[in-house]
Chain A
Amino acid sequence: MDLQPILAGMGGMPAPSTKTNPMADAAQGFADVLREAEMQAEAALTTGADPHALVTAMAEGKMAIETVVSIRDRVVEAYQEILRMPV
C-alpha cells in the first residue's frame, strides 16, 4: 500500500521528488513503517519468524495509521469548512 502520493497531494505539495520536503519525509517514514509491518506479517505466516517482531511491527503500523488518519480527517474537515464558507 503506497499512500505517499495521496499524502503528498493532500498537502498540496508536488510529488516527493524533493528530499527536503518535510511532508514527503513524513509520508516516506509512514510508508516504511507499513512496509515493515507487511514484511513481518508475511515472514511470520510463511516462515514462522519471531512473533514478537510481528506484534511490534503491527503495533507500530497501527500507531502510524491512527496518526495519519487523524491528520487526514482534520485536513478534510478544514477543507469542508472552507467550502461551506459563504462567499
Chain B
Amino acid sequence: MNDLSNAINVLSSGMRSQGRRLVHIAENISNADTPGYRRKTVDFQAMVDGGRRSGAVEVGPVRLDRSDLPRIHDPDHPMADEGGYYDGSNVQLVVELADAREAQRSYEANLKMFEQVRRMSSQLMDVLRR
C-alpha cells in the first residue's frame, strides 16, 4: 500500500499500544490496596514483521516491579503476622496517575498525526477535483 496508509497503520499500532499500557495502569490503580500486589509495567518495542522492523510499535511482555513491598502495621488485618505487619502493594498512585497522563498525551499525539494524514490524503484528492 502507499505511504499514507502505512502511516495510518503505524499510528494505529501506537494508539493500540498506549491503550494496552493504560490497561496495566488501571490494574495497578485498582490493586493499590491489594496486599502483596506488585505494580505491573510494560515496555514498548519496535514491531518486527518477517524479520524486518515494520515501523509499528507493540508492547512487550509484562514486567513486575521488584521493589520492596511496604510493611503496613495493622494488627487487625487477617494477613498480619505476629508483629502486626503485612505486606502492602508497591503501587504509588501519583506515579500511576502521571503514567496515565503520559499515555493520554501520547495517544493524543498519535491521534493528531492520524488526522493530519487523513487531511493530507483528502487535500491530495482535492487537487484532482479542480
- CB within 8 Å of B: which residues of A? 50, 52-53, 55-56, 59-60, 62-63, 66-67, 70-71, 73-74
Q: Is B12 an interface residue (CB 8 A)?
A: yes
The A-contacting residues of B in range 1-58, CB under 8 angstroms, are 1, 4-5, 8-9, 12, 15-16, 19
How many residues of chain B are within 8 Å of chain A by beta carbon?
Answer: 16
Q: Is B128 an interface residue (CB 8 A)?
A: yes
Which chain B residues border A62 with CB–CB below 8 Å? Answer: 118
B12–A56 touching, CB < 8 Å: yes
Which chain A residues border B5 with CB–CB below 8 Å? Answer: 60, 63
Which chain B residues border A50 with CB–CB below 8 Å? Answer: 16
Q: What's the least CB distance linking B88 to chain A, in Å?
A: 35
What DSSP secondary structure best describes chain A's contact surface? helix
B16–A66 touching, CB < 8 Å: no
What DSSP secondary structure best describes chain B's contact surface? helix
CA distance A71 to B67 in the complex (A): 61
Residue of B nearest to A55 (CB): B12
Residue of A nearest to B127 (CB): A70
A59–B118 touching, CB < 8 Å: yes
CA distance A63 to B12 in the complex (A): 16
